[in-house]
Amino acid sequence: MKKVAIIANRKRKKALKLKDQLIKLLPEDYIVIDKHTDSQGHAIDLTLEAIQENADFIIAAGGDGTINEVVNGVMRATEEQRQKIIVGLFPLGTGNDFARTSKMAKSVKELSAHIVNGVHKNIDLGLVEYYDNEGVKQNRYFDNIAEIGVGAKTVEIVNKSSKTLGGTLTFFLGVLRAFLGYKRQSVRIKTNDFQWVGKIVAVCVANGQYFGSGLGIAPGARLDDGQLSLVVIGNIRIIHFLWYLPKLRKLQKIIHPEVHYHKIDTCEIFSEVKYPVEMDGENIGFTPFSAKVVPNAIKILIN
């Protein structure tokens, strides 16, 4: 018997229906259970519960925040337990950016086929150290992107906004509002072979390629290359952002003296004032923060 555990975002009606839909499609020797989140961070605990209950597959039914919590739950398990778990995603969020890079299943039928076939790959994660509201150092894994700058302000705006316009337009309007109220501060970035000081619009440490509901901020990022992509967007104006938006949508590099791309293993970012740190669609804490790659960290269900 194989056990499939669904970690369902309670706010998504389609997530709550996924269990019954999968039961109809999977063979009889598959057991399907679901666990529903009640608050931010709850999916981490539910994932650990599912692992203790000997789940073979853990499916995050939600958005980038849900899969991030599932990943962090898996990483709290023992290495022996992690080797037995395959993580999947049924994308139901506002941005769904990790699903764009990882080519996750887009239908329940496709998801059930992936589960039966068990086709998976090992991917890297990023591990970030940052500071919480009380100034206590914390750490957390990310599967997609961690960043500071206008993106963190955008996430704050989007998470408080109605999603009736859809993810792409909601994020676009959020970026415009964030730019209008954004005060550029100076940061210092240090990696093994690159250092940079200056005012920034955004600094992204990327494992996946997209953020902001389809903006291809890190064209060189790969989920399984043992490195992270560092993208520095310096002191550009909003008119430049709008001008280059079509290139971002097409996952193309921006050629501009204030935009820099580097492949890294580790980096440290310091700021003159506390910058919010955004990770996979949630603001988690503040600078200074450091990031490093964790190669071959988890198994994900993939084409």
Token pair, residue 284, equals: 């988690």
Quote the distance between the C-alpha of residue 275 and its chain's center. 19
CB 122 within 8 A of CB 302: no
* DSSP conformational letter for 211: B
| Residue 64 is a catalytic residue | yes
CB 148 within 8 A of CB 203: yes
Which residue is catalytic, options 34, 64, 97, 143? 64
**Ramachandran assignment for 75, one of left (phi > 0), alpha (psi -120 to 50 degrees), beta (any other):** alpha
Token pair, residue 87, equals: 């993580």
* DSSP conformational letter for 215: B
CB 129 within 8 A of CB 287: no
Helix (H, G, I), strand (E, B) or coil at 158: helix
* DSSP conformational letter for 275: P
193: exposed, middle or buried (C-beta count within 10 Å: 0-12, 13-18, 19+)? exposed
CB 167 within 8 A of CB 151: no
How far is 256 from 286, CA to CA, in rounded Å? 28
Concatenate the DSSP letters of all residues of 159-199 into one string.
Answer: HTS--TT-HHHHHHHHHHHHHHT----EEEEE-SS-EEEEE
Active-site residue set: 64
